[in-house]
């Protein structure tokens, strides 16, 4: 039997996973990031990268001026249809934190609470915050 060519062998292998497919959230340990990646693979309401995108959307939204935030709160933002709604992203982050282990959720909650503190429009109290 003839030997297979290396290109034939490579094409039959599964695609190589790149570092870009792993979640990247500043301030969160690799252990918590691997837990996020596991949730993104196993939950039907998540796709790979959803949590990273949700954190980015929320971070970008809370860093906007109060006037822009109030306008978005009152009238909505037409870009949310194509680029993602930061309020829905924040709700997704709550869902993910509830699905994570206490240790991983604590790390992610620490990041999200700092962003929430910068948000000028008051948010309703969260179920897990005790207040």
Which of 124, 120, 113, 110 is closest to 61 using CA atoms? 120
Q: Give the span between the Cα atoms of 53 and 12, in whole angstroms.
A: 31
Going from N- to C-terminal start, the domains of the chain cover 28-120
Residue 110's pLDDT is 94
Length of the chain: 131
Helix or strand or coil: residue 37? Answer: helix
Residue 130's pLDDT is 52
User: In this structure, are residues 23 and 52 in contact, taking their beta carbons and an 8 Å threshold?
Assistant: yes
Reading the chain (131 residues) residue by residue, the pLDDT tens digits are: 677 777 777 777 676 555 555 678 888 999 999 999 999 999 998 999 999 999 999 898 888 777 776 666 666 666 666 778 888 899 999 999 999 999 999 999 999 999 988 876 555 566 555 54
């Amino acid at each position: 039997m003839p030997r297979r060519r290396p290109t034939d062998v490579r094409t039959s292998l599964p695609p190589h996973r790149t570092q870009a497919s792993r979640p990247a959230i500043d301030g969160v340990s690799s252990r918590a990031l691997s837990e996020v990646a596991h949730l993104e693979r196993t939950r039907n309401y998540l796709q790979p990268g959803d949590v990273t995108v949700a954190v980015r959307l929320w971070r970008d939204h809370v860093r906007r001026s109060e006037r822009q935030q109030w306008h978005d709160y009152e009238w909505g933002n037409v870009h949310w249809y194509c680029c993602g709604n930061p309020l829905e992203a924040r709700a997704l982050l709550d869902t993910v934190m509830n699905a994570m282990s206490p240790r991983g959720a604590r790390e992610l909650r620490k990041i999200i609470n700092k962003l929430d503190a910068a948000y000028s429009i008051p948010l309703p109290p969260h179920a897990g915050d005790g207040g």
